Amino acid sequence: MIPRLAPLFAAAVILSASGTADAVTAQPVPQVMAALGDSVSAGFNACGFYVSCTSRSWAAGDNQRVNSHYLRLLSHDTSVKGHNLNFAVPGSTSADLLGQVKRAVAAKAGYVTILLGAQDACVRAEKDMTPVDVYRRRFDQALGTLRAELPDVRVFVASIPDLRRLWQVGKGNPLARTFWTAGRICQTMLANPASTKRADVQRRARVRQRVMDYNEEAAASCAALGEMCRSDGGAVFSFPFTMDHLSKWDYFHPNALGQQMLAEQTFAHGFEWLDMR
């Protein structure tokens, strides 16, 4: 049984350094949270060979090393305990976001995280990448549904990681190049990984720009919702991740350390939460 949602806002009073009371608007911790997105939020390849590992998800996982959004919320208020739902599905694109939103609505989620779009760019050929206007329309529809169906919900939108940086940190690693080529992983960015030909350099630049455009539109869609939605300001995209953050199963998805990085970079740009300890 899903517990009743907490009230929308609560006022917290914090003493400033001068000893005066500053009123700070903070959110009560929701009693239900839901993670939406693709393989990254599903924790794919974070603990085993080509399997989802939701316990290590940056958003809704319960692995102590990762210290996800869920565990950080739990440290503020135990009412969310056991209500960390993960509706992210490997391979999902922006076309799947509305369906995931509907599952969050049915669960009466009070907090929703979204990281989605890498698979809109990671296709066989550039011509198959999702057009930017289509991506934005899908985001608007999904966030609009959340606003209409769950007016008290709080939404966090994370930026898509920089796919060109992935190529940069892995192109010199023979195993990474082998996995990318044999598995045909994100061919728009990772095809011909050792090539420095002009056509390949320009292709990578165009794919990177498409990801940047997706991030800009997702953040704008979020901003249109006002105080109910926060984005990370490009923190995930601009983070200088290394090979140490990548799963050795495919050199593409985040490992546990990479998931921990995602949790840190995103939670710092999110909401202020009431501490009910």
Rounded Cα distance between 158 and 39, Å, is 14
Of the candidates 122, 137, 106, 97, the residue with the CA atom closest to the CA atom of residue 2: 106
| Cβ atoms < 10 Å from Cβ of 182 | 8
pLDDT tens column, 233-259: 999 999 999 999 999 999 999 999 999
The SS3 of residue 237 is helix
pLDDT tens column, 70-102: 999 999 999 999 999 999 999 999 999 999 999
Rounded Cα distance between 186 and 141, Å, is 26
Domain boundaries, given as residue ranges, for the chain = 10-267
pTM reported for the whole predicted model? 0.91
Pick the CATH number of 10-267 from 3.40.50.1110, 3.40.1280.10, 2.60.40.10, 3.40.50.620: 3.40.50.1110
Average pLDDT, the chain: 92
Rounded Cα distance between 202 and 264, Å, is 32
Give the mean model confidence (pLDDT) for residues 21-45: 87
Give the mean model confidence (pLDDT) for residues 100-105: 98
pLDDT above 90 (res 212): yes
